[in-house]
Chain A
């Protein structure tokens, strides 16, 4: 027997956006629930862990979406599209001001004398969350293009093609950026690996 009534919660993003464009607030609310957290996390990572700024960016993004839901091209994949918008917002922000690379001090429990990228100068006290904290630091030190590619790949599990579409670049460029980022991070963080 055909199930005629499909749960709206299981509807695709594209279908929900099509309904939102017609004024279906319930559909839009579901889209918000699905992506608000992800976008806020993305902005948090991309904007130097500035929580307030990340919240503002998330609000701006969804307000724009609420005002003009019909701008979404339903022939595209929604997740790719929304990250493209978010990426462009971050790029504009970078142009406006240089984003401070938030390098925490002693409160992270790490004594670190940074001298360029020289690992030999690094002294540390390893605590429970050191790896995560250092990951945050190193990500903030990355170029925004490398950071974007890395986050989209290993957090959102996007394909190379989708990442290229978000960033407006070629797949080859995305591949090389990813490889370089993983390699560099592993070098920086190998001291904090579990034994």
Chain B
């Protein structure tokens, strides 16, 4: 694992956008009984999710989040020097979402804009890339966009993913700063677990073909086709509870802080039961560990900023906060970052 720090960059604003459409798990037809629904909700924590209609894609959620944030910051769009877009559900297989968004937002042609395909650990990976580039090049204003429409990739008949995944995007504005505060990163991965979060068909290894849409019954009794996300729940769980505490401690140890000094630890919202195990292993209190999974489900790379907007808005706009973000999942990969924020801009949740 690589643990390192970047100085001279700060977060100045965070916004998030979700679709208006709410789907409640207690009414979810995929469960054969209310008891089954209740059990699922109790373990995963997901009461309801936001699901896009067909005509809304990740770029739409991203642009809405970005424009609201830029507006509240009073930034001139032409001053934005870099825009990094983290998604694994882009509008098209080509070109990148960043190209679509660049033109729709009116970003300058000199704005460095590109996509990076990362999921659950994407907010931290994206932050690590944008902060390093801004610092190295001397770019004053940058936007990180994260988000996915996982609902478009989940099998409507798969009880492990359909009621868990939701759709969201978030925008984070970074600026060069004169303070000598450090942002600390710890990043790592284990590709031997690549099949634990996996979409079989539609890439170049298994191009889309007529069999891709045939539903089959998995060994674990789940119903999906080749275009749908496979989540090996047991292995992802086993991975999450071992890796997350280690990467979190790597970052904490590099700060001069104790666990009690952390104002909030925001984890990728994977599964309430798993996240609670991680929280307890780290001896974090419930007050330090906000959740948004109940309202939005697992929204991939957007879960961390979405949790901030949904649960931490009052504090993050009015106080200086010591924060640790920890994301882990598809790859398998993981990333943790420590950052100190100083009364940032945080508009209310955007719904489209």
Q: Do A and B come from one complex?
A: no
